Structure 1
Amino acid sequence: MQLDHLLPSYDFRSHYHRRIAADAETTWRAYRSLTVEELPTVRLLLRLRGLGRLRLSGPVTEVFPIPLLAGGHHEEVRGQAGRYWQPRPSYAPLPAGDADAFRDFAEPGWAKAAVGVRVVPDGDGCVLSAETRVKCTDTRSLGAFAPYWILIKAGGAGLIRLETLRAVAARAEAASHA
């Protein structure tokens, strides 16, 4: 798994998965073409977070400004380093999409966050999983990020992952039965 290479050790982790009654290729296409319009909770949470400056329509993979670090057959990892705990997060000056720079980044005061999405064949269907890992670069950022993580894992990020898995499953299963 590419996430293991990019962020092998972490301070925080969440993992969600769902079995889908569709083949891996159909499910991957459903994930890659998922739109924000299909995710009402995501739209609401983005508005509440004050990220109204983001475009709230179109493909999810284009709306969220999270750089792609690695991609492959039915797998991708997106990530960046930021100060997520701030009301308006700031981001580390890393070259967008540079996997090596992300992996090696260790400047104090940041949290490196990566999200891996993967589809694995499973009998007559597949399993779609989304894993988030966060590694803080020092104890001060760890202390600042920890309360934020509790809030988003219980609410925002957890709800987003569950809603995304549900929407992809609905789209993929509808396509496989068409």
Structure 2
Amino acid sequence: MEKILDRLIPTYDFRTRYSRRVAAPPEAVWEALQQVTADELPVTRLLMRIRSAGRAPLSGPIAQALPMADLGREEGREAVSGRVAKFWQFRPETGPEETADPAVFAAFSEPGWAKAAMSFQLSPTADGTLLAAETRVRATDRASRRAFAPYWLLIRAGGAGFIRLELLRAIARRAESATAS
């Protein structure tokens, strides 16, 4: 079955994928994914505060707090959010508003930008759920790819992996706790 992420960014320049087995059914994991809050993610809150130069901290459900557009969801299977931006800038310039539409996002190719999408994918297993977080980035031209590459090395080594792992851990903890009670 084709992933939503495959339709949005079928080819990419940069990618990470982290996964975790969760001892809870996909329905509980999906619910936890929708409800996990910034308060459950201390490392993410700190890194986002540093990145946003001290602006208002993340609050509420993380799915709504991140500055990304909802680009698609298939209930209980996959949720994808993303945005177009010049991520490598200290205060990233965001892309055109219409790129919040999944079809426009997928087709967007104006030079000077990068498209980033983060997908949470749930797969049932014999003892629960395999939860994966996959991030893909596609630069719209060679200059953007060159500008994004050092930023990617920095965030991948210094935070993006921690953020994804912390998210997966918080979702698993919430889903397993709900299943146990």
What's the TM-score once normalised by structure 2's chain length? 0.95
The residue type equivalent to 1:102 in the other structure is F
Three-state SS of the structure 1 residue aligned to 2:10 is: coil
Alpha-carbon separation, structure 2, partners of 1:138 and 1:96: 17
Alpha-carbon separation, structure 2, partners of 1:120 and 1:13: 20
Alpha-carbon separation, structure 2, partners of 1:41 and 1:67: 22
Q: What percent identity do the matched residue pairs reach?
A: 50
Runs of 4+ in 1 over 4 A off after TM superposition: none
* Counterpart position of 2:105: 102
Change in Cα spacing, 1:51 to 1:72, as seen in structure 2 (3 Å) is farther
Count matched residues. Answer: 178
Deviation at residue 61 of structure 1 after TM alignment: 1.0
Deviation at residue 109 of structure 1 after TM alignment: 0.4
Counterpart selection for 1:149 from 135, 146, 152: 152
State whether structure 2 residue 26 is matched by structure 1 residue 24. yes
Alpha-carbon separation, structure 2, partners of 1:162 and 1:12: 18
Query: Where in structure 2 are there 5+ consecutive unaligned residues?
Result: none
Alpha-carbon separation, structure 2, partners of 1:101 and 1:54: 29
* Counterpart position of 2:41: 39
Change in Cα spacing, 1:80 to 1:145, as seen in structure 2 (3 Å) is same
* Counterpart position of 2:8: 6
* Counterpart position of 2:79: 76
Deviation at residue 65 of structure 1 after TM alignment: 1.8
Question: RMSD across aligned C-alpha pairs, in angstroms?
Answer: 1.1
Three-state SS of the structure 1 residue aligned to 2:98 is: coil
CA contact (8 A) 2:49 2:57 kept: no
Alpha-carbon separation, structure 2, partners of 1:20 and 1:125: 6
What's the TM-score once normalised by structure 1's chain length? 0.96
CA contact (8 A) 2:112 2:144 kept: yes
* Counterpart position of 1:90: 93
State whether structure 2 residue 157 is matched by structure 1 residue 172. no
Alpha-carbon separation, structure 2, partners of 1:34 and 1:95: 28
CA contact (8 A) 1:55 1:63 kept: no
Deviation at residue 119 of structure 1 after TM alignment: 1.1
CA contact (8 A) 2:99 2:108 kept: no
1:84-107 CA-to-partner distances (Å, cap 9, x unmatched) read: 000000111141531110000000
CA contact (8 A) 1:111 1:137 kept: yes
Alpha-carbon separation, structure 2, partners of 1:101 and 1:18: 32
Change in Cα spacing, 1:166 to 1:136, as seen in structure 2 (3 Å) is same
Counterpart selection for 1:158 from 161, 169, 177: 161
Three-state SS of the structure 2 residue aligned to 1:155 is: helix
Alpha-carbon separation, structure 2, partners of 1:92 and 1:40: 28
CA contact (8 A) 2:84 2:99 kept: no
Three-state SS of the structure 2 residue aligned to 1:106 is: coil
